[in-house]
Structure 1
Amino acid sequence: MSARPLVAVVVGTDHHPFDRLVGWAARLHAEGRYRFHVQHGSTPLPEGLPGSGMLDSTELVSLLDCADAVVTHAGPGSIMDARDRGHVPVVVPRDPRLGEHVDDHQLRFARFLGARGVVTTAHDIDQLAARLHLAALAGHSVPARRRDSPTLARFEAMIEELVRK
C-alpha cells in the first residue's frame, strides 16, 4: 500500500489570520486521506496538524519538492514558488470580508490566473478536496532548469500584463 499523498499548504507571511484554510487542512488531515505540512504564518496551528510558522527558502523548496500537491494563498511569490517546483497549485485566495486581508486583490488575482490555467482555485472545503484529489493523481515533476523555465517566464509575463491593466 502506498503512503498517503503529502500536501504542502502555504499561507504566506501576512499578519492577517487565515483560519479558514488552516481549518480546512486540519479537517482533511483528520479524515486521513492526505498527510499535510502547513506553513501557517501567524495563524494558530490546530493540535495534530503538522506544520511550521515560517520556512526559509531551503526548507520551502524541500517541502515543495516532496509534496504531491500544493495549496497556497493567492500571493504571487507563493504561486511562483509552487509553479517553479513543477506544481499547478490549488489557490485559496484570502477574503477581506472574512478579515483575511486588507482588500480583494487576492480574489481578483486568483480569478485572473485561474482563467488562464496557471492555477486551480478552491473557495470551499469540498472544492479543495476535489482539487487535491486531482492534483495528487496528476503529481508533479521538478523542472531541471527552474529559473529559466518557460513556466516562470509565462507567469512573469502574465503578472506584467495584469499590472498594465
Structure 2
Amino acid sequence: MSPPLVAVLVGTDHHRFDRLVAWAADLQYRGVFRLHVQHGATPLPPAVPGSAMLGPGALADLLDRADAVVTHAGPGTIMDAREHGHTPIVVPRDPALGEHVDDHQLRFARFLARSGTVVTAYDAAELRARLDLAVLLGHPLPVHRAPSPTLARFEALVEDLVHR
C-alpha cells in the first residue's frame, strides 16, 4: 500500500513560497506521504514530484486523486479544493517573509478558519499534525473557535482601522 497522496498548491503568484515548499520536501523525504507540489515560481527540491503550473484538467485530476490538500490562501485554489470534496489545509503567505505584498492571505485564512471552511497551519509541526488527521479521518477537522463578543468587536475595529 502506497503512502497517502497530498496535493500541495502554492498558486501562480510570482513571489516564491520557499517555506511551504521546504515543509513539503521534508514530508516527502520522510516517506509518510506522497506529494505532488504545484510550486509556481519556487524552485522544487530534488526528488520532490511536482509541476510549476497545472492546467484545469490536471488540477482537477490531482484534486480527485489526493487524500489531502495543502494550499496557500488563494480563494480560487481553496474553492477548487472544496469543490473536489476537500477541507484544505491552508498555509497563508506571509509578507514579512517576502511571500506576498500584503497580509491579505493571513487575514483571509483566519476568516475562513473561523467558519470551518479551511484548517490553517502556521508551522511545519502543525502542518504535519493536520495532515496526519486529514488522512486518518479522510478530511481535517475544522477548528471552530467562536470568538468572544469582545474579541469579535476588537477584530472588527482593527479591520475598520486597517481599511481607512
Q: Same fold (TM over 0.5)?
A: yes
Q: Name the CA distance, whole Å, in 2 between partners of 1:96 and 1:138.
A: 33
Q: Name the CA distance, whole Å, in 1 between partners of 2:91 and 2:123.
A: 8
Structure 2 residue aligned with 1:11: 10
Q: TM-score, normalised by structure 1?
A: 0.83
CA RMSD for the aligned pairs?
Answer: 1.1
SS of structure 2 residue aligned to 1:93: coil
| Unmatched tracts of structure 1, length 5 or more | 141-164
Superposition pairs for residues 92-131 of structure 1, below 5 Å?
92-131=91-130
Q: Name the CA distance, whole Å, in 2 between partners of 1:134 and 1:66.
A: 18
| Unmatched tracts of structure 2, length 5 or more | 140-162
SS of structure 2 residue aligned to 1:82: helix
Q: Name the CA distance, whole Å, in 2 between partners of 1:136 and 1:3.
A: 13
Structure 1 stretches of 4+ moved >6 Å: none
The number of residue pairs the alignment matches comes to 140
- 1:3, CA displacement in angstroms? 1.6
What amino acid is the match of 1:54? M
- 1:138, CA displacement in angstroms? 2.2
Q: TM-score, normalised by structure 2?
A: 0.84
Q: Name the CA distance, whole Å, in 1 between partners of 2:87 and 2:65.
A: 14
Superposition pairs for residues 74-153 of structure 1, below 5 Å?
74-139=73-138
Larger radius of gyration: 2
Structure 1 residue aligned with 2:40: 41
What amino acid is the match of 2:15? H
- 1:136, CA displacement in angstroms? 1.1
Work out whether 1:24 is the aligned partner of 2:17.
Answer: no
| Percent identity (aligned) | 68
Q: Name the CA distance, whole Å, in 1 between partners of 2:48 and 2:97.
A: 22
SS of structure 2 residue aligned to 1:36: strand
SS of structure 2 residue aligned to 1:38: strand
Q: Name the CA distance, whole Å, in 1 between partners of 2:20 and 2:99.
A: 10
Structure 2 residue aligned with 1:57: 56
- 1:139, CA displacement in angstroms? 2.0
What amino acid is the match of 2:25? A
